[in-house]
Amino acid sequence: MPVSVNLTDRQQRILWATVRHYITTAEPVGSKALVDEYNLSVSPATIRNAMGVLEKAGLLYQPHTSAGRIPSDSGYRIYVDRLIAPSEKLGGKVEQVLDQLNWSDGRMETLLRGAAQILATVSGYIALITLPQSHTGNLRHVQLVQIDPKQVMLIVVTDSYETQSVLMQLPQPKNGETSETLGPEDAEIVDRELQILSNFLNSQLRGRSLCELSLIDASELGREFERYAELLKTVLSDLSRKAQTPAYTRILISGLAEALRLPEFSQLQQVQTIIHLLEQEQEQLWPLIFASGSSETPGKRVKVRIGSENPLEPIRCCTLISSTYQRGSVPVGSVGVLGPTRMVYENAIAVVEAAADYLSEAIGGT
C-alpha cells in the first residue's frame, strides 16, 4: 500500500476534506462539494487537479467515470495515520459512562457485556471485547519436589489456584557420582536443597505474574546451589514464554444488528458471512482482536486494520480497531470496534483507546 507517498500540505488538506465528506455523506465527492463546504482557499480547478494526483497515487478512486471520488483503503490509511487525532472529548465521555458500571460487585462477564453495549452505543459500530486471560494471574506458591533420583518437578500455583508443573532432569552432583549411585542420605540432602530453593523462589517470585517468572536473580543463590541455577533459569523462562502466549477466550459482541443496517452492509450474503465469522468462527477473528500495537503505525497502541489489511475475507470491506487491556504490565484481553471502512475514525479510535485504558484500571483493581 502506498502509505509512504509524499503529499504537499494542500494535497493533504484536500485528501482530509474528501475523506471527511465521504464519511459524512456516503456519496462520491466532487470538487464543487469541497469548494462549497470546506474553506480550502483554492479554486475548483486546483482541487480537481489535486484530486487527480491523489487518484494516481492510489488514495482516491472513481466508482463510475461520471461520479466523484471516494477514498481507497490507502487513502483511509494516510487519513488515519497523518491527518486526524482521536477525539479527547468523546474519550472522556466513554470513561464517564463506563464508570457507571459497578466493577467492585459483579461477575466479570456481565460487566464486560455491559461495557460492550456502551461501546456499541457510543461508537455506532460492532463492539468486541474478549474475556480476560485466565493464565495471567499472579504467582502464589512455588515448590520443587524430587520425583526420583533423576527427576525433579517444579510446581507453580497462581492466586486463582491454577497449577502448572514442569518435569526437570536433576543436575548431577559435583562429586561425580551418578544419580544411580546416590543413597538414601543423598536423597535427603537433595530434598533439603530443593526446599531451600523453593523458599528462595517464593521470596523472589511470589506476587509476580507468570509472565515475569524469568526475572529471577539467580546470582543471589549460594555457591552450593550453582548446579541448579541454569536449569531453573531455563525452566522459568519457558514457563514465562508460555504465559505470554495468549490463549483463545470468547469474544463478547454488541451492536451487531444496528451496525449491519449501515448502507455498506446492504448485501445479504455479505452480512451473513460477517455474522458467521462473529458467531461461529471467533477463533479466526480472535488473533486479530488481541494483537497489540500497530504494524502500520509504530508507537501507537491502538491497532487499525483497514479493509484489505484484514486477512479474513468476510471483513475485508470493514475496519477493525482494537487495543489490549492489561493487568499491570501484562495484556490480558482486548477491546475493539468493527465497522465499515467509511468510519468516523477519530471517534472510533478514541472509544477503543479510552475503553482499553478504563478496562486496564478496572481489571487491575479486581
Question: What is the mean pLDDT of each successive set of 10 residues along the chain, which is 366 residues long?
Answer: 77 97 95 91 93 96 87 97 94 93 79 94 96 74 86 82 80 56 68 87 82 71 71 78 73 92 89 93 92 52 94 96 87 94 97 95 74
Predicted pLDDT at 295: 42
Predicted pLDDT at 1: 46
User: Which pTM was predicted?
Assistant: 0.74
Our measurement of the distance from residue 84's CA atom to the centroid of its chain's CA atoms, rounded to an integer in Å, reads 21
Predicted pLDDT at 341: 97
